[in-house]
Structure 1
């Protein structure tokens, strides 16, 4: 069934309503950034440092706004590709549909997305005064990645580098949150945060399968387009194994407590998700279980890891 026939898609009747500005950010996906910030805070507490609540709240707000802005400019720069997409599985793939369904114009979308990113700059500079000067390059690197992911001339997602960008961006969220609290850089949040960042990249990866035909038609050479659906289907379990293996290595090295092994349990959702992906890699209409399973594994892993670190602290 084409995704356009689904009643969930926004339509022009929403135009002019204040809720549009929130819905355009794809708020359901912002949970991965919420967890990344909480993970950075949990690592800070686990090291025995006292948290600075207002700095933590500011970090969370700015990280969410940056993610929201990146989502919106992705809709703007992918508007032609999304317009070609007949295999999308809304709301997971194919963009927000706000431009295509005439809820927002392309110009309004661009102003909203770039406006959100612009507000993060002065706010981040103000936060630098209470944390440290290295927050500037951390924040600018995050904004650059959010822009370069979909905006020309780089358009890194269309060059097969989307997963690298996503992994790096969410590592920066965890590292930046930790830095704001302690005022110094540490390798700990990067090492501990890597499995979660890889799983966030896995969400992007599995979402590329329903979009592959439209991406190929628009000249976007994502990993799924480059490899072909059948071969690319092996990438999801590989990402899951890398995340789980790295986590086990951290436990063996004593970098994280044994109790964090509970965070590996949600990764079991990747087993049926990977099986579904391999079975239906070329049949977008049947990929919803693979996508939801990957989301559940990622959110579950991040939430349990964060909780166990808090408890141990």
Structure 2
């Protein structure tokens, strides 16, 4: 099956709204939607009565924050030259949105749009803080900070081999923050429940670095795949997956999570199949599209199964 064509200005015609919406890479926002569902599920499963209005606002502005992060990442990858130098990209999965490179948006338009989206999150966050408690300010600032530091100088976590840690932190904060809005105080439950999902989301970033590694290296972007080289780095994918599923099984086995959460571990079939393909084709970018799709599927299905189990299973010995 052929992949979608890269964006062009002609495709969007005179519709600037469609152009800007597409620049956020909306298909990839599903991981934030599912992270938010996990946060709602941990609160509901713990006996909290959900506030539907605050739930919808939390999910909506989490998506806006993720969209802003995507756009800012495109801007800084354009400034660094990483996307322009990427000749082995697998669009739409790697190599950025191509909006700047294909003259759909200018770098200045992209920067204003990305930072504008993050600015929109602030008033919503203040309202939700008023509804839930001042602790949300710390969670929100941490989330915005990670979103900025992931791409932007001087930290540029993604260019220093720290992108995966940033992704794990960002999606844990989505889960913890969504739970906090409903619960009204911090709890270890959403972090315990969400860590396996956050690690599988980080593996999406990780496998995407393999097709991009030559362009990243040419632009001085030192991802883990650039630092280690594909033949060594390919084992990191399996290590991340093993740690994610081991965490989930360990938490279920020690009664920190409901037994039905173990069903989410069935997605290891997808992760390990993707890992097998990566081991075979780590230096053949054109062959990695199936593994990338499996990785995305594993994270999304894992999160959905986890959210369902957390919301509707009986919780043994969980402290709210």
State the TM bucket, normalised to the shorter chain: over 0.9
Q: Secondary structure at the match of 2:84?
A: helix
Residue 9 of structure 1 is matched in structure 2 by 6
2: CA distance, partners of 1:259 / 1:141: 31
- Kindly provide the CA deviation profile for residues 20-66 of structure 1, in whole angstroms up to 9, marking residues without a partner as x: 11110000110000000000010111101100111111100110000
TM-score by length of 1: 0.97
Residue 239 of structure 1 is matched in structure 2 by 240
For 1:211-226, list aligned pairs within 5 A.
211-226=212-227
Structure 2 vs 1, CA of residues 110 and 15 (structure 1 numbering), >3 Å: closer, same or farther?
Answer: farther
Q: Is the 8 A contact 1:76 1:110 kept in 2?
A: yes
2:64 matched to 1:71?
no
2:226 matched to 1:229?
no
Residue 173 of structure 1 is matched in structure 2 by 174
Segments of 4+ in structure 1 off by > 6 A?
none
Q: Secondary structure at the match of 2:82?
A: helix
2: CA distance, partners of 1:6 / 1:186: 42
Residue 260 of structure 1 is matched in structure 2 by 261
2: CA distance, partners of 1:212 / 1:309: 37
RMSD: 1.2
Residue 195 of structure 1 is matched in structure 2 by 196
Q: Secondary structure at the match of 2:83?
A: helix
Q: Which runs of 5+ in 1 are unaligned?
A: none
Residue 115 of structure 1 is matched in structure 2 by 116
2: CA distance, partners of 1:225 / 1:131: 43
Q: Secondary structure at the match of 1:69?
A: helix
1: CA distance, partners of 2:132 / 2:271: 38
1: CA distance, partners of 2:25 / 2:9: 17
For 1:1-313, list aligned pairs within 5 A.
8-13=5-10, 14=12, 16-17=14-15, 18-79=17-78, 80-312=81-313
Q: CA deviation at 1:123?
A: 1.4
Q: Which runs of 5+ in 2 are unaligned?
A: 315-320
Q: Is the 8 A contact 2:133 2:184 kept in 1?
A: yes
2: CA distance, partners of 1:15 / 1:225: 38
2: CA distance, partners of 1:299 / 1:310: 17
- Kindly provide the CA deviation profile for residues 215-234 of structure 1, in whole angstroms up to 9, marking residues without a partner as x: 00000110000000001000
1: CA distance, partners of 2:196 / 2:149: 23
Q: Secondary structure at the match of 1:91?
A: coil
Q: Is the 8 A contact 2:172 2:194 kept in 1?
A: yes
Q: CA deviation at 1:15?
A: 5.4
Q: CA deviation at 1:152?
A: 1.1
- Kindly provide the CA deviation profile for residues 100-153 of structure 1, in whole angstroms up to 9, marking residues without a partner as x: 011111111111100000111111111110100011111011001001101111
Q: Secondary structure at the match of 2:104?
A: coil
Q: Is the 8 A contact 1:24 1:72 kept in 2?
A: yes
User: More displaced, 128-137 or 14-23?
Assistant: 14-23
2: CA distance, partners of 1:200 / 1:57: 22
1: CA distance, partners of 2:186 / 2:251: 19
Aligned length: 309
Q: Is the 8 A contact 2:3 2:92 kept in 1?
A: no
2: CA distance, partners of 1:253 / 1:134: 29
TM-score by length of 2: 0.94
Q: CA deviation at 1:169?
A: 0.5
- Kindly provide the CA deviation profile for residues 61-98 of structure 1, in whole angstroms up to 9, marking residues without a partner as x: 11000000000000000012101111000000000000
